[in-house]
Amino acid sequence: MKRRREEEEMEIVWQTPANPPERHDYIFRNAFRHEPPVMAWDVSILQKEPDVLTVCKPASVPVHASGQYRKNTVVGILEAEHGLAPLFPIHRLDRLVSGLLILARSASKADFFRQQVKCMLPYPSNGKKSRIEARVVHKQYVAKVVGVFPEDEQVVNVNVNFNVREGRSTVEVESAGNACTSLKGKAASTKFTRISTNGTHSIIRVHLQYTGHPIANDMLYLSDEIVDPFSKGMGADSTAGVSEEDSKEGFSIDPMCTNCPNLAHKGYDTDQEGLWLHCLRYTGPGWTYECPYPEWASLD
């Protein structure tokens, strides 16, 4: 806290119960942010237009600032390394998912895209149009899954609900196994097509689990058992537990920061590197943006 004593003189004063702030005091607060690490992969710019920017987002990097992440984000990296700001992400892409990310370069363009992403065309009376076909914007992903996926096209129409206790999304089904018509969960439809036998994202993940072919490195959905998201070494969305002794090694402790002694070690778990789930394409009225296939999905 700085307290003005004379016209051009400032004095640094520590605020205490015996020395509370006074009127016209300048109050400063020191904050230590311990940001989690991300993989050192580039955020590749795919297309740069006056009002739209498309990039290939690497896995492990969140799209924007949230939680403990402030600088290690796609938006933060693009601003720091390319001077691109402001940027407005127009769709979600989970931290552990890679692929196409579309960012508007103005608020008006962002609103234009977001309205299209949310828009649904009216269903025809004959009921021939599916939820997917009724959408104005179509999105396409590629995933590497467990087992040999069926050759014929698979369409999953089941409601999805996020289970806070389990820390993951679950499908709502009746006891007989039919899709539940309850309005508690989010209505969702996903169409799957096998492209190779060798090679809202939580919806895709849980729908693939529902078909019996979860993403091959998605520890959160590989098992039907309840997963404790805070347990040691469980899943791609959580940090593996470490001993207190290990957690104090490999980093310096700032004497002014009360959180430093409680930090985990500087290592990075392999299950934090990302999922085998990659956004390939977004298509809307009069526009299409694409992203190259990832290395793990090469068709060569």
Partners of residue 53 on adjacent β-strands: 48, 103
Distances (CA, A) of 20 to 15, 16, 256, 272, 290: 6, 6, 21, 45, 58
d(CA 71, CA 77): 7
Partners of residue 9 on adjacent β-strands: 6
**94 carries an active-site annotation:** yes
Q: Give the Cα-Cα-Cα angle 45, 47, 51 (nearest 5 degrees).
A: 110
Distances (CA, A) of 118 to 203, 257, 278: 16, 44, 21
Residues across the chain: 300
Q: Active site residue: 25, 42, 51, 94, which one? A: 94
DSSP class of residue 215 equals B
- Residues tagged active-site: 94
